[in-house]
Chains A and B, each alone.
Chain A
Amino acid sequence: MLEIENLRGGYGQVEVLRGISMNIGEGEIVAVLGSNGAGKSTLNNTLSGIIPPIAGRISFDGKEITRARYTDIVAAGLIQVPEGRRVFPNLTVEENLELGSYLRGGVRRRQNIERVFAIFPRLKERIAQRAGTLSGGEQQMLAIGRGLMGEPRLLILDEPSLGLSPLLVEEMFALIKRLNEEGLTILLVEQNVGQSLEISGRAFVLENGAVVFSGTPDELLSNSDLKRAYLGI
């Protein structure tokens, strides 16, 4: 579904991604791991068209999107729930969700809002509250809900468990697993190595903007050098 070939990218003159190749098949859940500053978020934002790639190729659903505008990428169904949530603080919970279907899924907006409320009942209780006044965990729920409103074909989740209490982290991973079982393709960027590997079919490890491992969770967990060097476990 998503094919990345030799992707290089970064910020101005600073090259962060140094030739990344990976692929994600329909219905898969793929974990991207790596230490701070490895380039995970940079990869996400390059895929989403927020920062332009320097070289390489990205194709989604068989179409090349390497230099596509971010609007076209969202329209194609490649949707990212970013690191740090990035909800609209001055808009209400409901308005945030409505904007999730700004480009896609607009016809089923009401149904999808109900679906998000079924997943996150706490959001329903806070429907008219401004997003900026939500707790961190609630904001994370809202960010994911907003992402789902666009009826993603591929959902990129950038550290969805960051800042959540242990109980909520459990719930969050259970939810990600469930969404995947319902047919959603997911690219999961995480620091929480153990839990991510439990629900992922395959994993990539990034270090310094390059892929240093790709394979199944079992292969990764049985490679103690890699675990120690890059994942700290």
Chain B
Amino acid sequence: MSEANTQAVEKYRNNFLKEVEERVEEGEWVKMCMQCGVCSGSCPFGPHWAHPPQEIFMMIRAGKRDEVLTSDSMWMCTSCYNCIVRCPRKLPITHIMHGLANYAHRLGLAPKGQPTREFGKMFWNNLVATGRVNELKLSLSLYFKDGFSQGIKNAMAMKDVGLGMLKAKRLNPFELFSPHGCKDRKGIHAMLKKAREIEDRRKHLTS
């Protein structure tokens, strides 16, 4: 268990709702859910979640910290926004789902190998490296995330798409060797660092 997690447990004791309100993006909305279930019924992924949004909100209020933060449910959200549109209490459900996922990730509690989480990490690392997303690298690392031979299989399956993109000049193989970044990579890094600081302060994550 990460240190951040131990410290959070210390700080909030058994008031998980309060923890969510302070530390999760839009978490202060959780108390406003009236348990109508419209979100769960509206979610295209609803039947595939262990805990649809309504249930997650109830679990937060019932103090089920571990179950919520280690769940892969909120990672399933596809950001279709159906629930937000329909929630009679106007909860920003989609944002709360991402907020919860992000928080669980930062505490190191999010499920290992959860595909959305893995892709999220890849995307982020790829982006911050040069300040610009390198699509070729990103897709290759996605293909090869489960090992070399699976990677080859994935690449072969996608080869027609790749060649088509090459022809249409939408893909440049040289990006693999000399990727081009943005003008002020240092500046970007400084910005991101500052943003993180602000966020951490707002979410009471700095001690």
Report if A and B associate in a common complex.
Answer: no
The chain B residues found within 8 Å of chain A, CB to CB, are none
The chain A residues found within 8 Å of chain B, CB to CB, are none
